[in-house]
Amino acid sequence: MSTVHTQIQALKTRASVCTACDLAETRTNVVFGSGDATAKLVLVAEGPSAADNHTTLPFSGPTGNLLDEVLTINDLTRTDIWLTNIIKCRAAGLKGGVLKNRPPKVSEIKACSKWLDGELTLVQPSVILCMGAPAAKALIHRSFRITEERGIWFTDTQYAPFVMATFNPAYILRQEGEDFTAMRQILVNDIADAVRKLQETPETPRLTLF
C-alpha cells in the first residue's frame, strides 16, 4: 500500500469518530471519500445522502447510479478518481418524526473542513470538479453562482491548479423530461472537459513531507 493510501486510511479512521459538530448525534456512519487516493481528478459534492449514511460510501443509490453512468460514458470508473463531500455526515433534520435531508449549516461545514483539507492535501489533485454550488462555494469562492459560473475554470484556488463546477447528479435527478436530458448531457460534457484538462496538465512531482 502506498504512503498516500496509508495516510488517507489513518485520516479516515480519525474522521470515523469525529464529534466536532452536532451531526455526530444523528448520523449512522461517517462517509469518508473513496476511490484512488493518488488520482489527479477529484469530484467533490455537498454531503452524504440517506443511502450513503448506511453504505459509508459517497454517491450510493440512484444518485450514484447516475454518476456511474456519466463516468462510464467518459471511460472512467470510481476507481480512477477520488470522490468525496465537503461534509462527511448526513445533514438531516426531523420532520414529522422522519429524518429529512437539509443543507449543511456554515458551522457544520467549518467543523468538517479539517477532513476535506486533509484529504485534498494528501491526494494533491490537478483537477477538481465541484458537483453543485455548496462544494463550489467551499472550494472556489463564497459567492459562487452555479447558473452563471458553471463550466468556468478557476486557477487561483487552494487545492488544485484547475477547479470547475458542474451540476450535482442529485439535482439532475429532480429534473424531468427535456430538462433532465439536457442537464445530464451537461454533466457528461463537464466531466469530459475535466478529463481533457487533466490530459493537458503536466504531471507535477508529488510533494512529500518526509
Q: What is the pLDDT of residue 20?
A: 86
The string of DSSP letters for 52-90 reads: HHHHSSSS-HHHHHHHHHHHHHTT--GGGSEEEESSSS-
Location of C-alpha cell 470515523: 16
First to last CA, the chain: 17
Residue (of 151, 95, 171, 106) closest to 179 by Cα position: 171
Residue 210: predicted pLDDT: 45
| Positions in the chain short of pLDDT 50 | 210
Tell how far CA 130 is from the center of its chain. Answer: 6
Question: Residue 207: what pLDDT?
Answer: 58
* Structure confidence at residue 148 (pLDDT): 96
CA distances 117 to 97, 111, 149, Å, are 34, 11, 23
Question: Within a 13 Å sphere around the CA of 187, how many CA atoms are in the beta-carbon half?
Answer: 26
CA distances from 99 to 15, 23, 28, 90, 181 (A): 23, 12, 12, 10, 30
Q: What is the pLDDT of residue 206?
A: 58
| Count of CB atoms situated within 10 Å of the CB of 150 | 18
* Predicted local distance difference test score (pLDDT) of residue 205: 59
